[in-house]
Each structure stands twice: as C-alpha cells, then as structure tokens.
Structure 1
C-alpha cells in the first residue's frame, strides 16, 4: 500500500509540474505574440536615394517598436498625392512653402508635424568656376514647380544676375523678371532633372538633396549658395502628415527620434555641413 501511495503522489507531482510548464510556455508564447503585434509600420515617403539620416532614425525607432518603411519617389509631385490618398503615412521631402502651395492647388489639408533641415539651394556648373563668368545668352536651368522655381529666381537675383518685380518676390515666375542684362536663357525643368541637365546648360539651380544625390557637396561644389537667415524659414524642410494624424502618438515619436543629437551628427557627416538641423535654429515645428 505504501508503495502504491508513493507512486500515486509521484504521478500527481509530475502532472502538476507538466501542467505548470505548459502554462509557462503558453504565457511566453502569448507574450511573444503580443510583442509582435505591438510593432507598428510607418510608411515614409521620400525623394531620391539618400536615406542615411533616416536610417539612423530608423535604428532608434525599432527600440520603440516602430518599423520605418521607405516609399521612394522620383518627382516632387508624387509624395503629397500619395499621403493625401492614404498610400503612405508620412513624407519628408519638402519645405513649408511648397506644402502650402500644394494644399492650395489640390484642396488638401496636409500639415507639418516637425522640422528637419534647412538645405540651401545652390547654383552649379560643369563649365564655370565662378558666377561672374556667365556671359550673354548663357543657358540656365531652374526647377519648374512654383515654389522651387520662385526660390531659384530669387537666388539668381541674390547673385546679381536678374531683377524681379518687387510685388512678386515670394513666388515669382519667369514672366516676373524685370531685368536680365545678360539675356540669360532660363529653362524650367522638373527638379529631379536639373542636375542631369548640367551637360546641356551653362549653370543649373539644384535643390540640395538632388545635388547630394548627384555627388556634389553644396558648400564646396556650388558656385553660388543660398544664404541662411530668417528669410529661410519658409524653406525649412518638414515631416508632413494628414491633418487628422497630426497628434498621432506614433508619428510624434518619429519626429522626436529625428530631432535628436545623433541625427545632428549624421546630417553633418552626410551633407558635409551643407544642411543645417532646422529644429535647433527655427524650433521643433
């Protein structure tokens, strides 16, 4: 009887132990499943191939359970359309002036949720070493969208090449040029084509991101670079969301991860000092 009783106790003990282990394993599986479900993917629209800065941000976001997925576009007309339609969650490629113009033209309500960098516009050339070398009738390429085109014309005026109607200074067009002493032949191109056009024109006005993608260091390779001052505020690059998502907690974490000291170092390295962390100069948004 004692032997039977002992065997019975042993069997009960084994059953309890097995049951306990089963519950522990089940609990671990539930925890792992829950953790996997908590990871959130944020689709970020960008222009161009250079994502070094965002790669640095992405590494920090993974610790927050956020997976950043790049959706790459080639033309400035695309990322806002994709954001408005819900194909992406955020985009980061434009300045405030560009966004305001897009909203007005398309009846959208996209908003800035954070500043990224100020990237000065530059004049580049394969043929000249200095802006003063431009001659009568030389060809000049500028971006063809309203905001960057107007910005390019203001830059040409800053360089002393043209004069613009005073009443149209914020968003001038080629027709607003009041003086062009060298009769420069100004051609408007899609912004992504301005760097490629260098072989066909004397000088080209190129956005900083496009210039870096083309292998230029703006502070070293441009023959004239846009000054950075309070007048640069409308041209600060931003992270953009749909209006209903402006306070989204996950998206705010994306902004916080970008506006970080580690990001400052990467911006300095990748842009060779040509881009400036805008949240340090102009505030977080």
Structure 2
C-alpha cells in the first residue's frame, strides 16, 4: 500500500512533464510561425501615379524574386504621394523629379530624400490643331502645368520653340510673371497638370506631363516641341525613388532601386509606356541629394 502511494505520484509527474514539453514546443512553434509569417507578409508600400502601367507588375515580381514583397499604391494626382510618404502611410514613392521634390519639401517643411534614380522624361508640347510649334498662331492660348516644378520647365520648352520670351532668359524656376507678354507670340495660362491634356480641345497647344499623354489619346511622337533629357543641366529632372530622411540608407530600399534599374522587363515596360522617350539614369544617391539641396536653397530664396 505504501509503495503504491509513493510510485503513483511519480507516474503522474512524468505525464505532466511530457505534456508540459509538448505544450512548450507547440507554443514555440506557433510563435515562430506567426512572427516568421508576419515578417514575410510585410510589404514595402510604394506610392505611384499610374499603377496600372504593366511594368509595375513586372517590378513587383522582380522584387519578389529577390525576396522583397512590394505593394504598389496608386494615387490619382501628383499632390498625394508626398504627404502620404511624409505621414508614413507608404514607405517609398516613385513619381517625381528632384525639382518637384524640392518644392514640396520647402513648401511643407519636410525632409523627404531621393534614394535612387529611375529615368528622365522629356517634357512635350502637344496640339490637336497645329502640326508644328511654328504654326501656332500669334495670340493663341497655350497651357503649362501650374505646379512650380513643371511650370518653369514648360515655359523653357515654349521659349525654345519660339512661342514665348522669358525675362532674363528664364530658369527652371520661371513662372507666368516671368513671361514678357509684349515680346511673346502666344498667351500662356496655367492649369493643373492633370487638366492640360483634357483641356487641349480648347487650347492651341499644351505642355503635357508624360503620365497623362497616352491617357488623353495622344502619342509621344506627336509632340510638336520638347526639351532634351540628355542635357547635363537636366539632373534636377531625374525621376527618383523618394523616402523619409531616416530611411535614406535602408538597404532594402537601396536593393529595390537596383532591381528597378537592372530588370530588363521593367526597363522595357517603362520604355514602352513612355513611347520610347525614357532616358534611364543611375545617378548615385549622393549626387541626387546634392542636387536636391541646391534646388531647395534656390526654391527657399524665391518663396
């Protein structure tokens, strides 16, 4: 009787020990699965304007092949991706050149930075009524984008085409007040970048950003004037991946830039969507940031 009383608890303790080990193993497995699964499922959110362009699907796949999950977040206009990035709603954006980024930072007291280059796109002048810039009649109305970064660039295109005269020769920061109306051939109006294309029926011609050319039923080869993306002075117009300042050296983001720059399927897709106009760039991030600093200083002086 006494022997049974001693031995029985030992058997039950052994059972409890086995059960305890099993429970610990199961809990550890669940924790590992959950944390590992969570890490795998966390995507880098990249904001763009025009997520429907096929090359973004190719980019997501190329990134996935390198072990990086990417979610492309679409925005309808240029005013949205930078605030979303600044507020942490997305991790990166890719839609803008350095001049646009500089204007946003200065105007909003933010410090978004470029982490890599994509391409330079020539800015074109289009018309449904006139086959050449020379045929645009005197006194006609031509539109340029109303955002500060693209307005100056558009005015320089008009000046090179002989349609306007800019005071002091014009700069990338010129605006409508710099137009010498008495010496200019046409009248210039400023519209939201998304509206210059849709308003083309009511205009002699318009500067149209690349994102809106094909959406308006136009083709890039029909531009009646455009600037030269190969000009060394064009660095401020290099399109970039942008991040928050604290993430500028994030190795995953650097890798995502490299994937974009080196994926043949992505580059071919970008070239196709741009009507063959994209000039790809691998400008080092340090050079991009220096250009940003320079443009921001000038932008701040003008405000």
- TM-score, normalised by the number of residues in structure 2: 0.78
**SS, match of residue 163 in structure 1:** coil
Matched with 1:127 is 129
* Alpha-carbon contact 1:267-1:277 (below 8 Å) kept: no
Aligned-pair CA distance for 1:182:
5.3
Aligned-pair CA distance for 1:35:
5.0
* Alpha-carbon contact 2:156-2:170 (below 8 Å) kept: no
Superimposed CA distance per residue, residues 122-166 of structure 1 (whole angstroms, 9 cap, x where no aligned partner): 000111111111112211111001110111111111111112122
* Alpha-carbon contact 2:117-2:241 (below 8 Å) kept: yes
**SS, match of residue 259 in structure 1:** helix
Runs (5+) with no aligned partner, structure 2: 1-21, 289-303
- Report the CA distance shift for 1:28/1:221 in structure 2 as closer, same or farther (over 3 A): farther
Aligned-pair CA distance for 1:92:
0.7
* Whole-angstrom distance in 2 between the partners of 1:255 and 1:203: 36
- Whose strand fraction is larger, Structure 1's or Structure 2's? 1
**In structure 1, which of residues 77, 80, 94 is the aligned counterpart of residue 79 of structure 2?**
77
* Whole-angstrom distance in 1 between the partners of 2:145 and 2:111: 24
**In structure 2, which of residues 138, 151, 158 is the aligned counterpart of residue 136 of structure 1?**
138
* Whole-angstrom distance in 2 between the partners of 1:181 and 1:129: 23
* Alpha-carbon contact 2:51-2:73 (below 8 Å) kept: no
* Whole-angstrom distance in 1 between the partners of 2:284 and 2:277: 19
Q: For 1:1-285, list aligned pairs within 5 A.
A: 35-39=36-40, 40-166=42-168, 168-178=170-180, 181=183, 183-218=185-220, 220-228=221-229, 229-262=231-264, 263-279=266-282, 282-283=283-284, 285=288
**SS, match of residue 77 in structure 2:** coil
Figure out how many residues of one structure are paired with residues of the other and give that number. 261
* Whole-angstrom distance in 1 between the partners of 2:51 and 2:204: 26
- TM-score, normalised by the number of residues in structure 1: 0.83
> How much is the aligned-residue C-alpha RMSD, in angstroms?
2.5
* Alpha-carbon contact 2:143-2:190 (below 8 Å) kept: yes
